[in-house]
Every structure is written in structure tokens, then in C-alpha cells.
Amino acid sequence: MTSAARLDALLRPQLAALKERSLHRLRRVLEGPQGPEITLEGRRYLNFSSNDYLGLAAHPALAEAARRGLEEYGTGSGAAHLITGHSRAHHAFEEELAAFTGRERALLFSTGYMANLGVASALLKRGDRVLEDRLNHASLLDAGLLSGARFARYAHADVTDLRAHLGVTSGSTLVMTDGVFSMDGDVAPLPELSRAAEAAGAFLMVDDAHGFGVLGAHGRGSLEHHGLSPDQVPILMGTLGKACGGFGAFVAGSEVVVESLIQGARTYIYTTAIPPALAEAGRAALKLLQSEPWRRDKLRSLIARFRAGAAELGLKLMPSETAIQPLLVGESVAALKLADALRQQGILAVAIRPPTVPAGSARLRLTLTATHTEAQVDRLLDALRQGGRG
């Protein structure tokens, strides 16, 4: 038997086991742009499974900015930021992100995953500690585990449990949390977390991937939502592929923090910079965040409409006031059955199963966007009323 055949023989039973447990994942081919309605493999669906919260992913202003960027800079950046890949577009975008978030500096990363890994690798060392919410995104958990620091998780959104962990720390301690939890949709108790970290001499980092652009009066995210300053949360990470409709991520903080990341974040130093054209698209998105607050207002209105309708139907929604509205089902088989029932009615609502969520908490992760209409939200509720509940 060849080496390739032996490898296949090793992996094939593992894939079969995933299918048997209803945990096997499938990709579906998208045809055309993101939007409230999309075409997947030749069929049109009403889409409630997108992170395009403000409806900017297909906005013509972003496309035009990217087109101009392509004409000026070409397709790729050609190198890492510290070689020759740091363009004027990158630099201007970082300055604008810093100003928007009220920080001294911001630093672009290729993805939120790489940003989180970069922060942990640059700011933590052996002997330090990293404390994380049990329901943090995988990128935060991986960042903590791979940092070399001593790693511990506290109970979800439980400040008392965090304080107990903080009470036994030594060396530098970094507390890492999502601002909005990606699978539950709830907002972290950031004021209390900040006070606990400050009292223990620890530092707080917030991954605001699902809050940035959406929460707060001006879209500055979960920190603005809670009225927190850069002094209270010294490290902020935000992504550009969700509310901003583009690609990439950033970390914002003080001059010293960002310079330390430039010197020590391996996922920044040793990777090619994102294409400058995408930085230009991000700049256009940032302008729209500031000039079109109606998008956040409409999103909030649709969230309220959906939750009110779901309550009338007796649906088991999780306690979320954000664009992420998880419908708790329980077992993976039942979640898949529910998703399929909705799909038969032309509605896309992807089932989320372990290990992404804890065993027994499979759900449909329904997401609303500013470009949905009230009629589309009502159609989703009607589909659930007419038997989509499985």
C-alpha cells in the first residue's frame, strides 16, 4: 500500500464517524454577491446566515474604491508590511481606524484569527497568564493555548469566576474576551471585566469582530455600547469582513502596544500584507459606517421585530439583542432537520453543531442585516409557523 493510500485509510473512518454523528460539514457554492437574497448552486434563497450585518459586502462604493485601488496598486501587495508591502492605502486606513476607535494607533492584519494569534504571541511569554471566557471564539482560545503562557478559562460571562482566577495569578496577565459572542449573540459584561482586570493589575483585550460597526451610537462597537475608554480596555481587535463588508482585521491601542506588535507579532511579520485595493475598500466602508447611521437603526428595528414574532410563536431564542439570533434546537440531527425544512421553503439558515457549540446546544444561527426588509423577516417567521420548526 502506498503512503497516500495509507493516509486515506487512516482518515476515512474519521470522516465516516462525523457523518454518523451528524457532524459532517458541507460547502455550498455561492453564485453572485452576498445579500439578503443569494443564489446557491442554482437556487435562490432568502439568506439569514450572513455576517454582512450592515449590508456593505456588495455596496457599490466599496467596489468602486477597490477598483481604484487595483488601478493604482495592482492586484497584490507583493510582500509583508515590513518588507515592501506596506502601501499608502494601508497606512491611511490604519490612521483612520485609529481615529475612529479613539486610539493612538491601529495595525492591519490579514484576518481576525491572525490578529488574535499575533497579540498573544507578541505580548505574552512563558510565566505569564492568559484568562479567557469559556465561550470565546476559537481564534482567541487558540491564541491563548499557543502563546506559551499559562492558560485558563473562566465560566461564560462570569466575573466572579474571573476574579477567582485573577486572585492566583503571577507575572503579566492578559484577559481575552469576545465583545459579542459569535454563537450566542450576547454582549460580554465588559465594564465588570474591566474593573476586575484593573483591580488585579491585569490587562483586558476585546475581540469585537461581531460588535464593531454594529453596536454603539456611532458604530464603534461593544466598547462604545458600554461607554468604555481606551484606558479601560487597552487592546481592541476588530474585523473588516463582517459589518465592514470587506476583508482583514485590525488591532488598535497605544503607540507602545502597536509598536510592540509590529516588532513581535509573528502573524504580522511573516505574512504578506492584504491587497491595497482591499484596504481602499475598507476605507470606503469606514466612511459609510459614519455617514449612514440608518443602517444600525434599521438593524435594531428588525431585531426587535423578529424577537417579538418569535416570542409569539414560542420559539426558544437565546437572550441576544444583537444581529445574531440563535434558535436553540438541542441535538445535531434535529438542527439539521430544521435547517432542511426551512431550505425547502427557500430560506437559508445554517445549523451550527458541536464542536463549534457545546454538545446538546445545536442551533440555527439566524443573522439579520440592515438590507433585510420587514417582509423578509415576516417570511422567516411565517416559515417557522408553517412547520419550519421541524
CATH topology of domain 29-58+293-388: Aspartate Aminotransferase, domain 1 (3.90.1150)
Which pLDDT score, from 0 to 100, does residue 25 have? Answer: 86
Distance, CA of 157 to CA of 186 (rounded, Å) = 9
**Predicted confidence (pLDDT) per residue in 70-106, tens digit:** 999 999 999 999 999 999 999 999 999 999 999 999 9
- Domain segments of the chain as ranges: 29-58+293-388, 60-291
Spot the catalytic one: 81, 165, 226, 242: 242
60-291: CATH class = alpha beta
Annotated catalytic residue 182? yes
Q: How far lies 93's CA from each of 96, 159, 278, 305, in Å?
A: 5, 35, 10, 36
Annotated catalytic residue 242? yes
Which pLDDT score, from 0 to 100, does residue 390 have? Answer: 41
Which pLDDT score, from 0 to 100, does residue 356 have? Answer: 87
Task: To the nearest 10°, report the CA torsion of 213, 215, 220, 225.
Answer: -170
* Residues of the chain where predicted confidence (pLDDT) is lower than 70: 169-170, 387-390
Spot the catalytic one: 50, 87, 147, 182: 182
Annotated catalytic residue 229? no
Strands 129-133 and 43-47: unpaired
Spot the catalytic one: 59, 90, 210, 225: 210
Question: For residues 216 and 244, is the Cβ–Cβ distance under 8 A?
Answer: no
